[in-house]
Amino acid sequence: MVDHYEFANLFLRYDLKVDEWSALPSEELSKLIGERWKTTGVRFMSTNHIIMSFMFVFSAALKGKSLFMPLRVLLTGKLHGPDMGSSVILIYKAGNHGVVARRTGTYRDCLPPSRFPSPLLYALIPRRRLPSPPSAPPEMESHHRRSNTSSVRSHKPTRPIALDDDSTKASDALPLPLYLTNAFFFTLFFSAVYFLLCRWREKIRSSTPLHVVTFSEIVAILASVASFIYLLGFFGIDFVQSLVLRPSADVWASEEDEVENEVLLRNEDARKVPCGQALDRSLRSLPPSATIVTAEKVFDEMRMKVMSEEDEEIIRSVVTGLTPSYSLESKLGDCRRAAAIRREALQRLTGKSLSGLPLDGFDYESILGQCCEMPVGYVQIPVGIAGPLLLDGREYSVPMATTEGCLVASTNRGCKAIHLSGGATSVLLRDGMTRAPVVRFGTAKRAADLKLYLEDPENFETLSVVFNRSSRFARLQGIKCAIAGKNLYLRFSCFTGDAMGMNMVSKGVQNVLDFLQSDFPDMDVIGISGNFCSDKKPAAVNWIEGRGKSVVCEAIIKGDVVRKVLKTSVESLVELNMLKNLTGSAMAGALGGFNAHASNIVSAVYIATGQDPAQNVESSHCITMMEAVNDGNDLHVSVTMPSIEVGTVGGGTQLASQSACLNLLGVKGASKESPGANSRLLASIVAGAVLAGELSLMSALAAGQLVKSHMKYNRSSKDVSKAASS
């Protein structure tokens, strides 16, 4: 077995094989040690070793490290991998700074009582002088000589310490090993307290005075008091002192302590038997400005700033799987700190850098519990402005978050053409979010019975009252059913105010299903959503029946504007629209895709305003129509979009950036005058932006300018390979 001071010295010098270890930060060295000794540990030969290890590990624990570390040392008498990093550094630094006695002296002679966590521990340390260690093996001596350089001659080299057993016995301090002594006093304290509580309960029941005690009760009282004093002296005194005196966060790095310890060392070196002779301090030290590259430092300059020792311990816990990554926010109470720790743990697990993903500059509290789980940063997407879009007599500057070149410019050109032609008009046809659960019965007849019950107008009022309890804005509009054998699909449609409304309608549907269970006890609810809604999937039911907001937007573009701004003709646009958007889409078997690129504009506006980007699937259902009017001189263009799913409250709309974009459009938050007005206006603006985008892209295709414009605006002139390597 290895003495722990010997182990600290030899581990740092020979196992790490890093001559510049003294210049490394404690966090870097601690991580290296923990990685090397994950599964193994060093068991101490005597009670003295356990006591000394516990003192410094416990002191570190009270100053911000894990309280489980000293308990593991006490109960097992062994340092394990997770504790190696900090405990070895603490013990070795303590020896170098005059806090721990050297191996050729005694434990107690060199230790002032003020440096102990507890006076009881100071009393437990024996005054016995320990034997000097034998010399090291020849190969270790040769390695030691090779590691010395001229820069280390200021230190007085000594011979390395051998790895043989220590002659000190466990009876030097206590009759039992320390972990057994602690277990004994813990057991004694709780047993005595339990015995006294039971006795006092019996006295209360029998109306016996509590001050009348028996011999066994006196023994129990004395045992509880004695064990309490022992435990208080062992665990409590330094904790109280740390609260009252509030020592420095890192006593080992204190400059004043280092100066004081250097003076003590010089005084001690003048004695006949120097206290620090056993620890080899002949290692080379580097100037503070030197750059140290370790095995753990994977990303060099790209790496995050050095974290505190407490954060480093949490990171190691996440990496080893002891702490779930998803629980960091609740455990730490600091979302920004949790994201930083999770990010660093991810980099260490994968070996990949996240240096290009920003971390700072974002309010992580705002997404907790509503937008994103386990964040490690945020993605930057540029936001461009198209417009002004003249729609229904008002001008709107449309924010578009996209990384596709030409998209904002093209939409902006369409807005200009609409504005010069007098603007566009929009009509809202329908406003209702849907949810369709699937239920199953024993027979198809029972499923048909429920279908007839739900579609009976006489039952609608009752169902509406039950449904509307879910929210003060929810209003049930209708229920349509589809049967497949003994399975029934119920498509509920309801008004949801300014919210997109998925959660609102789901709660209302659950209320109705609970209500129907009383009349249809054999109904088996398979799922709250049966895909007859249909959400985030292209579906004919949305194309025909609509979902969310159904909007039609139109404009008449003057012939002069078509020629001068759009650089094409009315006849070319009409012909291209028929052959591309109508015939071409039909040939492809498109479902709701009778347009040029409606999803481009929908996605860009959705991301900028905090909508659900996945609902772009059904929201982009659009048919674009173009027709020559006014004797063929002007162009009538329209877009019909039956399922625009937007909201101005809830979800991503509450984030600062997205909220600013909604405020730009004048639709931020809920409408106080008319519930749902803001979300309906936002849907109309989306349709107007799609109209502008369709008009501009179709013109570019008709004029043969698509490839030319993309080569000009959608191609980077930078050498990406050089930029990545720089």
> Residues 689, 693, 695, CA angle at the centre, nearest 5°?
115
Question: Which residue among the candidates 612, 618, 634, 645 is catalytic per the annotation?
Answer: 612
The token duo for 264 is 């003590």
> Residue 124 has what pLDDT?
40
* Residue 116 confidence (pLDDT) above 80: no
Pick from 152, 104, 49: nearest CA to 277: 104
What is the distance between the alpha carbons of residues 221 and 200, in angstroms, rounded to a whole number?
12
Please tell me the total number of residues recorded for the chain in this structure. Answer: 726
Predicted local distance difference test score (pLDDT) of residue 234: 64
Query: Confidence class of residue 523 from pLDDT cuts 50, 70 and 90?
Result: very high
537 has catalytic annotation: no
Predicted pLDDT of residue 120: 41
Q: How many CB atoms lie within 10 A of CB 626?
A: 21
Contact 103, 48 (CB under 8 A): no
Confidence (pLDDT) at 215: 87
pLDDT at 281 over 60: no
Whether a cis peptide bond, with omega within 30° of 0, leads into 388 is yes
Coil/strand/helix, residue 618: helix
Residue 113 binned pLDDT confidence (cut-offs 50, 70, 90): very low
Per-residue model confidence as pLDDT tens digits over 454-502: 999 999 999 999 999 989 899 999 999 999 999 999 999 999 999 999 9
Catalytic residue among 19, 217, 404, 554: 404
Q: What is the mean pLDDT of the chain?
A: 76
CA distance 144 to 284: 11
What is the per-residue pLDDT for 382? 97
pLDDT at 69: 52
pLDDT at 304 over 90: no
- Name the H helices within 490-597: 502-519, 540-545, 559-564, 570-576, 585-587
Q: How confident is the model at residue 719 (pLDDT cuts 50, 70, 90)?
A: low
Kindly tell me the sign of the dihedral angle through the C-alpha atoms of 698, 701, 707, 713: negative
pLDDT confidence tier of residue 683, bands split at 50, 70 and 90:
very high
Q: Which residue has the higher pLDDT, 392 or 85?
A: 392
Residue 696 makes CB contacts below 8 A (sequence gap 6+) with 410, 411, 413, 414, 417, 566
Per-residue pLDDT band at 612 (split at 50, 70, 90)? very high
Closest residue by Cα to residue 632 from 579, 562, 694? 562
- Give residue 386's identity as a one-letter amino acid code: A
273/478 Cα distance (integer angstroms): 96
Residue with tokens 């589809």: 482
What is the pLDDT, as a whole number, of residue 207? 78
Q: Which of 378, 323, 367 lies closest to 345 in space, CA to CA?
A: 323
CA distances from 15 to 4, 8, 33, 43, 283 (A): 14, 10, 9, 18, 14
Listed in sequence order, the residues at least 6 apart from 336 whose beta carbon sits closer than 8 Å to its beta carbon are: 364
Strands 622-629, 634-644: pairing kind: antiparallel
| Residue 612 annotated as catalytic | yes
Residue 674 has pLDDT above 80, yes or no: yes
pLDDT for 239-266, tens place per residue?
555 554 444 444 333 444 444 444 444 4
pLDDT digits (tens, 9 = 90+) for 48-73: 444 555 554 545 444 444 444 554 55
Which pLDDT belongs to residue 183? 80
Q: Tell whether the torsion through CA atoms of 220, 225, 226 and 231 is positive or negative.
A: positive
Share of the chain above pLDDT 70, in %: 63
Which tokens hold the place of 422? 């007098």
Q: Is 586 helix (H, G, I), strand (E, B) or coil?
A: helix
CB-based contact 502:646 (threshold 8 Å): no
Q: Band the pLDDT of 384: cuts 50, 70, 90.
A: very high
End-to-end CA gap in the chain: 51
